[in-house]
Amino acid sequence: MRQLTEEETKVVFEKLANYIGRNIVYLIDNKENPHVFRLQKDRVYYVSEKIANLAISVQRSNLMSLGTCFGKFTKSGKFRLHITALDHLAQHARYKIWIKPNGEMPFLYGNHVLKAHVGKMSDDIPEHAGCVVYSMNDNPLGFGISSKSTVETKNLDPTGIVAFRQADIGEYLRDEDTLFT
| CATH code of the domain containing 131 | 2.30.130.10
Per-residue pLDDT of the chain (181 residues; tens, 9 = 90+): 889 999 999 999 999 999 999 999 999 888 888 999 999 888 999 999 999 988 888 888 888 888 999 999 999 999 999 999 999 999 999 999 999 999 999 999 999 999 999 999 999 999 999 999 999 999 999 999 999 999 999 999 999 999 999 999 998 888 877 776 6
Q: Is residue 47 part of a domain?
A: yes
Strand, helix or coil for residue 36: strand
Whole-number pLDDT of residue 180: 67
Q: Is residue 181 part of a domain?
A: no
CATH number of domain containing 27: 3.10.450.220
Whole-number pLDDT of residue 8: 94
Tell me the whole-structure pTM to 2 decimals: 0.89
Taking the C-alpha atoms of residue 85 and residue 46, their distance in angstroms, rounded to an integer, is 9
**DSSP β-bridge partners for residue 140:** 134
DSSP-derived pairing of the beta strands 130-135 and 96-99: parallel
Whole-number pLDDT of residue 181: 66
Whole-number pLDDT of residue 55: 87
Question: Backbone phi, then psi, for 15, in 5-degree steps?
Answer: -65, -45
Whole-number pLDDT of residue 32: 87
Same domain, 144 and 104: yes
- Residue 137: domain span: 93-174
